């Protein structure tokens, strides 16, 4: 499990460790990890040119000491100081190792004029967890002079809001972010996560590895989580040796309509992933024949352990929600049914809006949701008293108490019509198989993203390809 901690939690862990270690030891650990990551990316050292952008704090110190390691390996290292108070030990060490240290060109320099020197790579040590969001003009100007050069961010891309993932002003866009001790929210949550590029965690002994989420009865105060393959494998429902189809759970689908029969097929395709014992279709008769033809194993209405409602339901959504709520079993509420999500209060439910749908549910602008994914997912979860799976590049799953997971599997090819219908069916199957709504939503979202990535290896995909790739993803996790 990846767990993203707040700056306050990092500082507390750091204080504990600093008391036990010689001065500067943590920074040396961080800088070594950073330096080797940069060397890996460069592929070779001799003759390579690396620019360090160095701010006033320890983030700049990390960059300078990584520069020392690089210079000793034969890299030509230049540091542009963005402040008069850059880490003095780091500056002296870089000079001693043969690096060039100069003041940054400054905001008044012609930002459009590229630097006369060409660099293979820029290391962003402007600010890390001590920075306020946004960048000062001198940092913006320095970045403009090396635009187009690959960037490695130290700890966080400078300028993003570390604890919320918000991006309100100018910021660094990195190809790789090397972070220390633990992930932070900005590494998982969009839009900041997009500015991180790939994220590499360097263990510096902060003691977060394997730490458990803390939860109180009211408000969750633990880290934001991102499931990894091993977590999904551990949570995945598997048939017991003496299983029969009913013990594995039956999922019912009330999706599709005469106008949108395809949604019935795709929702059923997600539900028929093999993770529940049986699938029932109880939607529009106009779609039922198509469902039976495509999925001969699917049966008609009857008792279920979970309902999936709303994908392409059109005018039938209200009735589908009402009947499913009356049943009292857990349900997935998607698309057209989200307008009636208020009626599911008090029932175990997973609501699966995309940003536009969530904006309608909360009566805010879509752009607000896309600027603050976690905040809006949590708000909706609290307001609707349900688990909310807010779909996007990095989907967010939130519980009413604030506990949250972020999905980091997936590919932009998944932005294709009907992909959400498959996801709803899949989450429904996991609910029917006995997962609680939070696990069903986050495991389903992880599998959905992984299946899309697998399917996209053979080229562009449509929603049905995602459903078809699910068994191979499950097999890779738990074996045949």
Ligand X SMILES: Nc1ncnc2c1ncn2[C@@H]1O[C@H](COP(=O)(O)OP(=O)(O)O)[C@@H](O)[C@H]1O
Our CB check for K ion shows the closer of 153 and 377 to be 153
Q: Which stretch binds ligand X (CB under 6 A): 71-79, 209-217, 385-393, 433-441?
A: 385-393
**Residues within window 416-445 making contact with ligand X, judged by CB under 6 A:** 417-421, 423
Chain-centre distance for alpha carbon 415: 15
Q: Judged by CB under 6 A, how many residues of this single chain contact ligand NPW? A: 30
Question: Which of 2, 5, 9, 27 forms a contact with ligand NPW (CB under 6 A)?
Answer: 27
Lay out the site mask for ligand X across 34-73 (x = CB under 6 A, - = otherwise): ----------------------------------------
Contact call for residue 177 and K ion (CB under 5 A): no
Residue by residue, DSSP assigns 27-90 as HHHHHHHHHHHHHHHHS--TT-EEEEEE-SSHHHHHHHHHHHHHHHTT-EEEEEESSTT--HHH
CA-to-CA distance for 177 and 11, rounded, in angstroms?
Answer: 19
Q: Which stretch binds K ion (CB under 5 A): 40-48, 90-98, 121-129, 463-471?
A: 121-129
Q: Which stretch binds K ion (CB under 5 A): 147-155, 218-226, 374-382, 452-460?
A: 147-155
Residue 201 and residue 226 in contact, taking contact as beta carbons nearer than 8 Å? no
Contact call for residue 420 and ligand NPW (CB under 6 A): no
Question: Which of 124, 161, 282, 465 forms a contact with K ion (CB under 5 A)?
Answer: 124
Lay out the site mask for ligand NPW across 158-197 (x = CB under 6 A, - = otherwise): ----------------------xx----------------
CB of 415 to ligand X, least distance (A): 3
Residue 134 and residue 344 in contact, taking contact as beta carbons nearer than 8 Å? no
From 222, 223, 206, select the one nearest 214 (Cα to Cα): 222
Is beta strand 404-406 parallel, antiparallel or unpaired with respect to 396-398?
antiparallel
Cβ-proximal residues to 123 (8 Å cutoff; 6+ apart), any chain: 34, 38, 50, 51, 52, 53, 63, 66, 67, 151, 152, 154
Q: Is 347 annotated as a binding residue?
A: no
Cβ-proximal residues to 361 (8 Å cutoff; 6+ apart), any chain: 338, 341, 351, 353, 380, 384
Contact call for residue 414 and ligand X (CB under 6 A): yes
Q: Is 207 annotated as a binding residue?
A: no
**Residue 10 contact partner, candidates ligand NPW, ligand X, K ion, none, CB within 5 to 8 A by sort of partner:** ligand NPW
Q: Is 124 annotated as a binding residue?
A: yes
Our CB check for ligand NPW shows the closer of 201 and 339 to be 201
The alpha-carbon radius of gyration of the chain (Å, integer) is 25
CB of 199 to ligand NPW, least distance (A): 14
CB of 294 to K ion, least distance (A): 51
CA-to-CA distance for 205 and 323, rounded, in angstroms?
Answer: 53
CA-to-CA distance for 48 and 228, rounded, in angstroms?
Answer: 35
Our CB check for ligand X shows the closer of 77 and 338 to be 338
SS3 content of the chain, % helix, strand, coil (to 5): 45, 15, 40
**Residue 27 contact partner, candidates ligand NPW, K ion, ligand X, none, CB within 5 to 8 A by sort of partner:** ligand NPW
Q: What is the DSSP letter of 473?
A: H
Contact call for residue 135 and ligand NPW (CB under 6 A): yes
Our CB check for ligand X shows the closer of 305 and 395 to be 395
User: Across-strand partners of 5?
Assistant: 184
CA-to-CA distance for 477 and 443, rounded, in angstroms?
Answer: 12
Contact call for residue 59 and ligand NPW (CB under 6 A): yes
Contact call for residue 5 and ligand X (CB under 6 A): no
Question: Which of 51, 86, 129, 389 forms a contact with ligand NPW (CB under 6 A)?
Answer: 129
User: Across-strand partners of 278?
Assistant: 250
CB of 248 to ligand X, least distance (A): 25
CB of 186 to ligand NPW, least distance (A): 11
Q: Which stretch binds ligand NPW (CB under 6 A): 56-64, 102-110, 335-343, 466-474?
A: 56-64
Q: What is the DSSP letter of 341?
A: G
Which positions touch ligand X (CB under 6 A)? 354, 391-393, 395, 410-412, 414-415, 417-421, 423, 448
């Amino acid at each position: 499990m990846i767990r993203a901690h707040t700056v306050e939690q990092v500082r507390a862990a750091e204080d504990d460790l600093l008391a036990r270690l010689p001065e500067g030891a943590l920074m040396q650990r961080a800088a070594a990890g950073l330096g080797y990551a940069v060397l890996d990316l460069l592929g070779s050292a001799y003759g390579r040119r690396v620019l360090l952008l160095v701010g006033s704090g320890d983030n700049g110190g990390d960059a300078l000491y990584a520069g020392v390691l690089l210079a000793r390996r034969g890299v030509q290292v230049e540091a542009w100081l963005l402040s008069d108070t850059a880490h003095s030990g780091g500056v002296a060490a870089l000079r001693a190792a043969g690096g060039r240290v100069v003041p940054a060109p400054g905001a008044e320099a012609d930002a459009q004029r590229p630097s006369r020197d060409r660099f293979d790579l820029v290391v962003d040590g402007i600010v890390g967890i001590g920075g306020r969001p946004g960048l000062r003009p001198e940092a913006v100007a320095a970045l403009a002079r090396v635009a187009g050069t690959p960037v490695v961010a130290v700890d966080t891309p400078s300028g993003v809001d570390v604890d919320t993932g918000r991006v309100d002003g100018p910021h660094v866009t990195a190809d790789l972010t090397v972070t220390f001790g633990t992930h932070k929210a900005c590494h998982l949550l969009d839009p900041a996560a997009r500015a991180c590029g790939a994220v590499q965690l360097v263990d510096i002994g902060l003691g977060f590895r394997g730490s458990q989420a803390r939860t109180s009865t009211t408000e969750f105060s633990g880290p934001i989580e991102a499931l990894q393959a091993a977590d999904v494998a551990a949570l995945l429902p598997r048939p017991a040796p003496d299983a029969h189809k009913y013990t594995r759970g039956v999922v019912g689908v009330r999706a599709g309509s005469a106008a949108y029969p395809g949604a019935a097929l795709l929702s059923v395709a997600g539900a028929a992933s093999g993770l529940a014992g049986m699938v029932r279709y109880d939607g529009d008769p106009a779609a039922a024949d198509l469902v039976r033809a495509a999925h001969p194993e699917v049966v008609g209405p009857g008792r279920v352990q979970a309902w999936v409602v709303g994908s392409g339901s059109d005018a039938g959504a209200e009735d589908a929600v009402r009947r499913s709520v009356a049943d009292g079993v857990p349900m997935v509420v998607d698309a057209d049914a989200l307008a009636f999500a208020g009626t599911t209060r008090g029932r175990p439910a997973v609501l699966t809006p995309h940003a536009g749908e969530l904006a309608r549910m909360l009566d805010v602008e879509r752009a607000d949701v896309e600027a603050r994914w976690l905040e809006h997912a949590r708000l909706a979860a609290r307001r609707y008293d349900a688990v909310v799976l807010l779909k996007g590049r990095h989907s967010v799953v939130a519980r009413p108490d604030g506990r949250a997971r972020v999905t980091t599997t997936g590919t932009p090819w998944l932005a294709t019509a009907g992909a959400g219908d498959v996801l709803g069916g899949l989450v429904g199957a996991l609910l029917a198989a006995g997962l609680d709504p939070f696990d069903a939503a986050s495991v389903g979202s992880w599998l959905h993203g992984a299946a899309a990535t697998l399917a996209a290896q053979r080229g562009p995909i449509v929603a049905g390809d995602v459903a078809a790739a699910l068994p191979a993803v499950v097999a890779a996790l738990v074996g045949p």
